Amino acid sequence: MALKLTDYRTPVFVDWCPGCGDFGILSAVQMALVDLQLPPSKVAIFSGIGCHAKLPHFVNAYGVHTLHGRTLPFAVGAKLANPDLEVIVVTGDGDGLGIGAGHFVNTGRRNIDMTVLIHDNGVYGLTKGQASPTLKLGLRTKSLPKPNINEGINPVAIALAAGYTFIARGYAYDVRHLKEVIKKGIQHHGLALIIIQQPCPTYNDINTKEWYGGEDRIDPATGKPVPRLYKLEETGYDGVVHSPEEEFPKYLAALMKAQEWGDKIPIGVFYQNELVPTYQKRISKRIPSYMANPPAKQPISDAEGKPITSILKMLEELKVTG
């Protein structure tokens, strides 16, 4: 029987602020799971700490709500131990790019086959609106005592440099588009990153839904707002690497696209490269039985508790008499 949207819902009350972009992200995740018909028990959603982090409790799948900034290592551990799991990591701009920045970069080196969603709203919502690592220099969102004294970082550029092999951006209020991007991320063979622009109606009064929608910029010809967001795929941009020769030019093209912000913000896939071997493949080269018998599936003892691992060869190497 086909899985329906209700199969991915839990009875837990969703306690985000009214109008929060997280609702759109939650819907997009659930819709992507329906479209891909992934059984809930095959999916594990990991989150850090912050508003985003409650998401796993609202999805009927394995949900692991971890520590501030540490969601990637937890997820990597589970995925390495059980590569059959479909692992989705949700993190925030503070969680993933501030306190968890070291893990964000180093996970890129490994190209583990999982999908990372960054809820990016420019603020630390749950602690009442402090500036996050993505808030631009000089901006003063509602609860900041002074304008932001730090420059905002560029997650797309960092992800490229770190080695993510699928990098995309979505928008929390364009749920259909976001769902499609998430599906592509899940289907990607390797480490996928999706940065999701997400208005925070409570604390970010600058990058609002209206701002993204361009309601301050009315086209005199049509009388309609000119949205700041545009879709990469509608411009003929193709970030997919098809051959080794394309790797560098497409990397550079993505890096160029990553610089766009302000009046023109691209969403869609910046870069995708499946030529890079996944971590699972790298392990399998060293341990041929890895995929057939990963750590979580290995028996370690018989029914009586006798170990089935033999260390005799190693003991033999250490043997000095007898």
Partner 1 sequence: MISDEFVWMAGGPQGSGVDSAANIFGRACCYGGLHVYGKREYHSNIKGLHSYFHIRVSSKEVGADVDYIDLLCTFDAESVVRHVWEVAPGGGIICDAEALGTRIFDIPTLPRPFIEEFRKTLDEKGIRPETVGDLLNEVKKNNVRTYAVPYITLLKEVATEIGEEKLSKLTRMINVLALGVSFGLVNYDKTYVEKAIKTIFGAKPKIISTNLLALNKAYDYAKQKLGDFGFKLKTVQTDEKRIFLQGTQAVALGKLIGGCRLQTYYPITPAADESEYLEENEVLELVQSKVKSSGGSIIVMQTEDEIAAINMASGAALTGTRAATATSGPGFSLMVEGLGWAGNNEVPVVITYYQRGAPSTGLPTRHGQSDLRFALHASHGEFPRIVLCSGDIEECFYDAIRAFNYAERYQTPVIHLIDKALANSTKSYKMFDPGLVKIERGQLLTEADIKGKEYKRFAFTESGISPRLPLGTSDVVFWNTGDEHDELGHISEEPMMRTRMLEKRMRKLETADKEISIQERVNFFGDTEASATIVSWGSPKGAVLEAMERLRREGYKMHFLQVRMLHPLPKEYIAEALEKAKKKIVVEGNYSAQLAGIIREQTGIAMDYFVLKWNGRPMSSDEVYEALRLIMQEKAPKRQVLTHGT
Residue 106 vs 143, nearer CB to partner 1: 106
Residue 150 vs 298, nearer CB to partner 1: 298
Residue 17 vs 265, nearer CB to partner 1: 17
Determine the Cα–Cα distance for residues 230 and 63; give it in Å rounded to an integer: 33
Residue 6 vs 259, nearer CB to partner 1: 6
Residue 76 vs 123, nearer CB to partner 1: 76
Point out which residues bind partner 1 (CB under 8 A).
10, 12, 39-42, 44, 46, 49, 54, 56-57, 60-67, 70, 72-82, 84-85, 102-103, 105-106, 283, 286-290, 292-293, 295-296, 298-302, 305-315, 318-322
How near is the Cβ of 272 to partner 1 at its closest, in Å? Answer: 25
Determine the Cα–Cα distance for residues 119 and 47; give it in Å rounded to an integer: 11
How near is the Cβ of 295 to partner 1 at its closest, in Å? Answer: 4
Supply the angle between the helices 21-36 and 175-187 in degrees, to the nearest 10. Answer: 50
Residue 171, φ and ψ in degrees, nearest 5: -130, 130
Is residue 19 within 8 A of residue 210, CB to CB? The reply is no
Residue 180, beta-bridge partner list: none
Residue 221 vs 314, nearer CB to partner 1: 314
Determine the Cα–Cα distance for residues 192 and 173; give it in Å rounded to an integer: 21
Cα–Cα distances in angstroms (integers) from residue 267 to residues 133, 241, 304, in the given order: 20, 18, 57
Q: Could you please report the per-residue DSSP string of 110-152?
A: T--S-EEEEEE-SEETTTT-EEPTTSPTT---TT-SS---SPP
Residue 222 vs 309, nearer CB to partner 1: 309
How near is the Cβ of 263 to partner 1 at its closest, in Å? Answer: 37
Determine the Cα–Cα distance for residues 284 and 80; give it in Å rounded to an integer: 11
One-letter amino acid at 181 equals V
How near is the Cβ of 91 to partner 1 at its closest, in Å? Answer: 13
Pairing of strands 123-124, 130-131: antiparallel
How near is the Cβ of 234 to partner 1 at its closest, in Å? Answer: 38
Residue in 59, 69, 62 with CA at minimum distance from that of residue 118: 69
Pairing of strands 265-273, 192-197: unpaired
How near is the Cβ of 134 to partner 1 at its closest, in Å? Answer: 21
How near is the Cβ of 50 to partner 1 at its closest, in Å? Answer: 12
How near is the Cβ of 48 to partner 1 at its closest, in Å? Answer: 10
Residue 6 vs 243, nearer CB to partner 1: 6
Supply the angle between the helices 155-162 and 247-258 in degrees, to the nearest 10. Answer: 160
